[in-house]
Amino acid sequence: MPFNLVCPASRGLSLALARTLLQRSPHPLIATARTNPDEVKGRILSGLNIPDDQVTVLQVDVTEEDTLSSAVQSIKQTHPNDHLNILISSAGVLHPERSPKDITKSDVLHTLSTNLLGPMLVMKHFSPFLPSKKTALDKPAVWVNISARVGSIEDNRLGGWYSYRATKAGVNQLTKTLNIHLKATAGGNAFAVAMHPGTVKTDLSREFWGNVEKEKLFEPEYAAERLVGVVERLGDGDGGGFFDWKGERIPW
């Protein structure tokens, strides 16, 4: 049976994405959390009429490779013959440098470790669960990297946010490269896309809520519904693309 995976899924948009997938997909959900997996499982299931055994939360820190290796072993035990249906890789932090003088080595390393190395390690360890060319499928599996419009080089008109922009541009490159790999290994059975959720009302963007028009500041649940809706409409021909929450392509 296919399964969905959200990494991480402990709060904000990531939590909302896990809950949305759980409600819209018949497949079991595997989620990850850096700490307190039982507590996170409770958040995911809160208020939902969904059996407890539909959700597994594994303790993973995307910057610590041994935790990803342990998660892989757990999944192999519980889903020995299963494959991914939708995976959403959503780790992210923001240190908003407004000018070069604001750049600090510690903040940049933190951003690179979480926003770029993290998704790269998630890709290394979890992409083998994607279906192969030999898998019989009605619809291809989708690998989703949560990116951001500010990662677009062509769309950069305001400047600033040096480390965040750089890492999201890197995530876009990872997505394109993974999709090329999947063409060879999965044929039309799996593809990868990068997605921009809009400005979501989470702790990551809290400092900037006042600068965003009210109608463009989304609650996590709304953003998650829109993103998952776009994912459900995408096909293999969209692989390697960069899309926003409306399903519109964003330039690289």
Predicted TM-score of the model (pTM) = 0.94
pLDDT in tens, 8-42: 999 999 999 999 999 999 999 999 999 999 999 99
Average pLDDT, the chain: 93
Percent pLDDT > 70 in the chain is 93
Model confidence at 215, in pLDDT bands (50, 70, 90)? Answer: low
**206: confidence class by pLDDT, cuts 50, 70, 90:** very low
Quote the distance between the C-alpha of residue 237 and its chain's center.
Answer: 20
pLDDT band of 204, cuts 50, 70, 90 = low
d(CA 166, CA 18): 27
Let me know: does 97 contact 103? Beta carbons within 8 Å. yes
Q: Which residue has the tokens 């190395």?
A: 117
Cβ partners under 8 Å of residue 187, min gap 6: 133
**Nearest Cα to 112, choosing from 104, 101, 100?**
104
Give the pLDDT confidence of 76-134 residue by residue, as tens digits. Answer: 999 999 999 999 999 999 999 999 999 999 999 999 999 999 999 999 999 999 999 99
Identify the top-confidence range among 68-72, 195-199, 210-214: 68-72
CA distances from 217 to 9, 17, 197, 199 (A): 21, 17, 10, 5
* Residue pair 56/28 in contact by the 8 Å Cβ criterion: yes
d(CA 83, CA 127): 10
Q: Tokens 């908003």 label which residue? A: 96
Spell out the SS3 assignment of 71-136.
HHHHHHHHCCCCCEEEEEECCCCCCCCCCHHHCCHHHHHHHHHHHHHHHHHHHHHHHHHCCCCCCC
Tokens, residue 154 = 């062509």
Residue 198 has what pLDDT?
86
User: In angstroms, what is the C-alpha Rg of the chain?
Assistant: 17
Confidence category of residue 203, pLDDT binned at 50, 70, 90: low
Q: Which domains does the chain have, with CATH numbers?
A: 20-27+81-244 (3.40.50.720)
Asked if the model's pLDDT at residue 197 lies above 60, the reply is yes
pLDDT value of residue 214: 52
Classified as helix, coil or strand, 13 is helix
Q: Where residue 205 falls among pLDDT bands split at 50, 70, 90? A: very low
